[in-house]
Amino acid sequence: MNNEIWVFVQLNGQNVEPTSLQLITKARDIAGDRPVVALVAETESMNVEATVKEYGPDKMVILKDDQFHNASDGEIADALDQVVTDLKPNSLLFPATVLGRSVAPRLQAKLKTGLTADCLDIYFDGDDLVQVKPTYGDDIMCEIICPDVRPQMATIRPNTFKAVKAATDTETVNYSFTFHPEANIEVVSETPVINSAANISDAKTVIALGRGANNEKVIAKAEKLAGKLGGMVGVSRPLTDNEGFSHENQIGQSGNTIAPDLLINFGISGAVQYAVGIENAKQIVSINTDAKAPIFDKSDYAFVGDADEFMSALLDQVR
Amino acid sequence: MKIVVCIKQVPNTDTVKIDPKTNNLVRSNVEGIINSFDRNAIEAALELRQQAGGTITLLSMGPDSYITSLRDGLAMGADSAILLSSRKFGGADTLATAYVLSEAIKKIGDVDLILFGRQSVDADTGQVGPIVAEDLQLPQVTFAESLELQDNNQLTGHRLLDNVVQEVKVKLPAVITVRSEMNSPRYETPLNIQKSFEKEITIWSENELAVDPTQIGQAGSPTVVKRIFSPEKAGRQTQMLPNNAKDAVAQLLADLNN
Ligand SMILES: Cc1cc2nc3c(=O)[nH]c(=O)nc-3n(C[C@H](O)[C@H](O)[C@H](O)COP(=O)(O)OP(=O)(O)OC[C@H]3O[C@@H](n4cnc5c(N)ncnc54)[C@H](O)[C@@H]3O)c2cc1C
Ligand SMILES: Nc1ncnc2c1ncn2[C@@H]1O[C@H](COP(=O)(O)O)[C@@H](O)[C@H]1O
């Protein structure tokens, strides 16, 4: 056992998934004298080391094999199990992306350790990694620890922390392992999503619609306004039942964390599960007919009144 | 095709409160319902049974009150249900829950397909499905948004990763976790509700399963909840805009442009 904090570096095609870099920064912030190690699994032709290094891990442990191209969750978990079982990190962090949330629990099952999902904060209390995650209900957070088993594992919500570059002497270890192909599964293809650049987590302006703005007229206006402002439309959870919206558009605990320069909330009450997703927005404007709506406490500007009226006025006055 | 759908019962509310004295979640007096994503998993099973024939068994670990949601699942059209219920199973985290479910699936035997919801809305982890897949050494397609039967022992699924849609082929037996995008769960018909009361719900405790006592319940759970709390939110200085929408927008735009 050592006292290293490892961060799994997820790759999206040729690029590093941004949460992984955010986690390297966060790990450095809480590390004290614990070394921060980036764990990279990539194909022979890939070389993300230069990018990862810029964020200042003390060490990079690199697994290279061409079969990582289109690898299954089980294959990735098997490769990680080999190096983790051998080198025994103290803690192991994953981005709470679809991939992270699929691979980490398989690895957890192999290691017979704990895994806390979708954390919004982590810190050390002695040797315990305290993992802070939201749980059911209004304003409830849970602190979870894994006192007796190592590694301590967590997946961490994308865009919860900011990635900051840091200069360090980074040691590079090429770890040799055996890629074990999984027999009964094949990743046939990976097709880039057409407007993948337009991810709500990256949008600079977000027009968010809730149950109080859930009608076709307002939605159409919101799309128009988003177009004018170069932004995107997001929704609270109830609206993901609408034809045109899905989980990809959802803001909040079980949706996306957003960090736009400007967020305008229309007809959203401001339940905590929604509110945790918008904390990092720079300016928040909210429109709600109920002067007591909790969303107003979380806003820089409040308009007590009708969503449609305010939207129309905005459309008129924004050029 | 022999299908098992793992379902969890969750409180039917968005606002569970903390008891200020005990610091525990107050869950009493809240009606239990099927975790919404698990209804999508049941629907997926019903559609596959329609194509390939076979049986659907619902499987849930929890207290006896979980019979409510098993009964609901039977009313959607599942054939039978098993409740894994014992004091010894209590206090389980994802690892211990998945272990007991896996052992039950082994006991059911010859299962071709195990379906899960993408995550439960209370624990919100999405971990139980992949852990079961690992425990049973089966391939998994998590967060699936479509599922097609190729022939009787192969499925093709699509799942949305961060920037790509992945097409995955799996041979059965396999584990799938289902996103709500996959389907719209059907409503229970009066006839099916009536029929559901004729279907048996089997109850298994640790005595019926070959479980290692150190791997179940609290004993088998590496994680410990240290504290539950309501966070103090750093409030923002909120500026009220004028009551008239036109003036409000004018003031807002002037402010934002500064
Ligand atoms: C485990 C869990 C996870 C969850 N995750 C999420 C999540 O990720 N994201 C999320 O959004 N929710 C999530 N929820 C649900 C959340 O608790 C709330 O139920 C949801 O956010 C409420 O959405 P809303 O504000 O749009 O609707 P409501 O709470 O119904 O609020 C509608 C608001 O609109 C106002 N209004 C009505 N008419 C008008 C009008 N004409 N003009 C202006 N205002 C009007 C009302 O005053 C009200 O405040 C989660 C819940 C749980 C239990
Ligand atoms: N106690 C349980 N009994 C049966 N299935 C469960 C249980 N807990 C979780 N599941 C299944 O695992 C999925 C993911 O749950 P979770 O990992 O808690 O988010 C759920 O959608 C259910 O299909």
Whether residue A102 is annotated as binding a ligand: the answer is no
Residue A285 lies in a domain: yes
Strand, helix or coil for residue A29 = helix
Q: Is pLDDT above 90 for B235?
A: no
Residue A163 lies in a domain: yes
Residue B41 lies in a domain: yes
Q: Is pLDDT above 90 for B11?
A: no
Dihedral sign of CA atoms B31, B35, B36, B38 in order:
negative
Do A115 and A23 share a domain, yes or no?
Answer: yes
Strand, helix or coil for residue A278 = coil
B253 touches chain A (CB under 8 A): yes
CATH assignment of the domain containing A267: 3.40.50.1220
Q: Is pLDDT above 80 for B196?
A: yes
Residue type for position B204: W
Concatenated DSSP letters for chain B? -EEEEE--EEES-S-PEEPTTT--EE-TT--EEE-HHHHHHHHHHHHHHHHH--EEEEEEES-GGGHHHHHHHHHHT-SEEEEE--GGGTT--HHHHHHHHHHHHHHH-S--EEEEES--TTT----HHHHHHHHTT--EEEEEEEEEEEETTEEEEEEE-SSEEEEEEEESSEEEEE-GGG--PPPPPHHHHHHHTTS-EEEE-TTTTT--GGGSTTTT---EEEEEEPPPP----PEEPPSSHHHHHHHHHHHHT-
Do A140 and A284 share a domain, yes or no?
Answer: no
Strand, helix or coil for residue A131 = strand
Interface-testing mutation among A301, A304, A306, A314, with chain B (most B C-beta atoms within 10 A): A301
Cα–Cα distance measured from residue B124 to residue A253, given in angstroms and rounded to the nearest whole number:
9
Pocket of ligand 2 (CB under 6 A): B 6-8, 35, 37-38, 41, 59-62, 94, 97, 101, 116-117, 119-120, 123-129
Which residue has tokens 């200020």?
A: B20
Give the DSSP H/E element, type plus range, for residue A254.
Answer: none
pLDDT in tens, B102-135: 999 999 999 999 999 999 988 889 999 999 999 9
Cα–Cα distance measured from residue A307 to residue A314, given in angstroms and rounded to the nearest whole number:
11
Do A164 and A224 share a domain, yes or no?
Answer: no
Helices marked H in A181-269 = 216-229
Cα–Cα distance measured from residue A238 to residue A215, given in angstroms and rounded to the nearest whole number:
12
Q: What is the pLDDT of residue B43?
A: 98
Residue A139 lies in a domain: yes
pLDDT in tens, B44-80: 999 999 999 999 999 999 999 999 999 999 999 999 9
Residue A133: C-alpha distances to residues A142, A246, A248, A254, B130 (Å) = 5, 24, 21, 12, 20
Cα–Cα distance measured from residue A312 to residue A220, given in angstroms and rounded to the nearest whole number:
11
Residue B239 lies in a domain: no
**Smallest Cα distance from B196 to chain A, Å:** 28
Beta pairing, strands A301-304 & B239-240: parallel
Chain A residues in contact with B138 by the CB 8 A cut-off are 184
* Domain's final residue, options A140, A174, A208: A174
Cα–Cα distance measured from residue A163 to residue A228, given in angstroms and rounded to the nearest whole number:
30
A259 touches chain B (CB under 8 A): no
Residue A227 lies in a domain: yes
Cβ-based burial of B36 (10 A; exposed 0-12, middle 13-18, buried ≥19): middle
Cβ-based burial of B3 (10 A; exposed 0-12, middle 13-18, buried ≥19): buried
A191 touches chain B (CB under 8 A): yes
Pocket of ligand 1 (CB under 6 A): A 136, 210-212, 236-238, 250-255, 267-269, 271, 273-274, 277, 287-290, 293, 306-307; B 14, 121, 124
Which residue has tokens 């981005």?
A: A95
Tell me how many domains chain A contains: 2
Asked if the Cβ–Cβ distance from B169 to A136 is below 8 Å, we say no
Residue A191 lies in a domain: no
pLDDT in tens, B139-164: 999 999 999 999 879 999 999 887 78
Task: Select from A117, A134, A144 the Cβ nearest to the Cβ of B225.
Answer: A144
Arithmetic mean of pLDDT over chain B: 92
Do A43 and A103 share a domain, yes or no?
Answer: yes
**Smallest Cα distance from B213 to chain A, Å:** 15
Residue B163 lies in a domain: yes
Task: Select from B17, B126, B236 the Cβ nearest to the Cβ of A101.
Answer: B126
Do A155 and A204 share a domain, yes or no?
Answer: no
Residue type for position A263: L
Helices marked H in chain A = 18-30, 49-53, 73-87, 98-111, 216-229, 272-275, 307-317
Q: What is the pLDDT of residue A319?
A: 80
Edge-first strand listing for the sheet containing A205-209: A232-235, A205-209, A262-266, A283-288, A301-304, B239-240
Q: Which chain A residue's Cα is nearest to B92?
A: A114
Asked if the Cβ–Cβ distance from B245 to A271 is below 8 Å, we say no
Residue B245 lies in a domain: no
Do A12 and A48 share a domain, yes or no?
Answer: yes
A292 touches chain B (CB under 8 A): no
Distance from the first to the final alpha carbon of chain A: 61
B212 touches chain A (CB under 8 A): no
Q: What is the pLDDT of residue B123?
A: 80
Tell me how many domains chain B contains: 1
Dihedral sign of CA atoms A241, B182, A20, B126 in order:
positive
Cα–Cα distance measured from residue A295 to residue A290, given in angstroms and rounded to the nearest whole number:
10
Domain with B203, as residue range(s), is 2-232
Residue B238 lies in a domain: no
**Smallest Cα distance from B84 to chain A, Å:** 20
Whether residue A319 is annotated as binding a ligand: the answer is no
Q: Is pLDDT above 90 for B166?
A: yes
Cα–Cα distance measured from residue A115 to residue A118, given in angstroms and rounded to the nearest whole number:
10
Q: What is the pLDDT of residue A196?
A: 43
Q: What is the pLDDT of residue B127?
A: 98
Do A163 and A205 share a domain, yes or no?
Answer: no
Residue A108 lies in a domain: yes
DSSP A224: H
Candidates B55, B60, B48; CA nearest to B78 is B55
Residue A35 lies in a domain: yes
All residue ranges of chain A with pLDDT < 50 are: 196-197
Do A142 and A14 share a domain, yes or no?
Answer: yes
CB A260 within 8 A of CB A231: yes
* Position with higher pLDDT, B229 vs B250: B250
Do A113 and A150 share a domain, yes or no?
Answer: yes
Percent of chain B's residues with pLDDT above 90: 80
Q: Whose CA is nearest to atom 4 of ligand 2?
A: B60
Q: Whose CA is nearest to atom 1 of ligand 2?
A: B61
B222 touches chain A (CB under 8 A): yes
CB A234 within 8 A of CB A258: yes
Domain with A163, as residue range(s), is 5-174
Do A102 and A153 share a domain, yes or no?
Answer: yes
Residue B135 lies in a domain: yes
Do A56 and A159 share a domain, yes or no?
Answer: yes
Interface-testing mutation among B239, B249, B255, B258, with chain A (most A C-beta atoms within 10 A): B249
Do A148 and A228 share a domain, yes or no?
Answer: no
CATH assignment of the domain containing B160: 3.40.50.620
* Domain's final residue, options A174, A192, A214: A174
Whether residue A283 is annotated as binding a ligand: the answer is no
CB A236 within 8 A of CB A272: no
Residue B136 lies in a domain: yes
Asked if the Cβ–Cβ distance from A98 to B227 is below 8 Å, we say no
B198 Cβ contact list (under 8 Å, min separation 6): none
Strand, helix or coil for residue A271 = coil
ipTM over 0.90: no
Beta pairing, strands B32-34 & B9-11: antiparallel
Q: Which two tokens stand for residue A53?
A: 């290094």
Candidates A292, A213, A295, A217; CA nearest to A252 is A295
Residue B20 lies in a domain: yes
Residue A145 lies in a domain: yes
CB A269 within 8 A of CB A237: no
Q: Mutate which of B116, B175, B179, B203 to test ligand 2's pocket (most atoms within 8 Å of Cβ)?
A: B116
Q: Mutate which of A140, A237, A296 to test ligand 1's pocket (most atoms within 8 Å of Cβ)?
A: A237
Asked if the Cβ–Cβ distance from A143 to B228 is below 8 Å, we say yes
Neighbours of B10 (CB within 10 A): 23
- Residue B207 pLDDT level (bands cut at 50, 70, 90): very high
Cα–Cα distance measured from residue B85 to residue B65, given in angstroms and rounded to the nearest whole number:
10
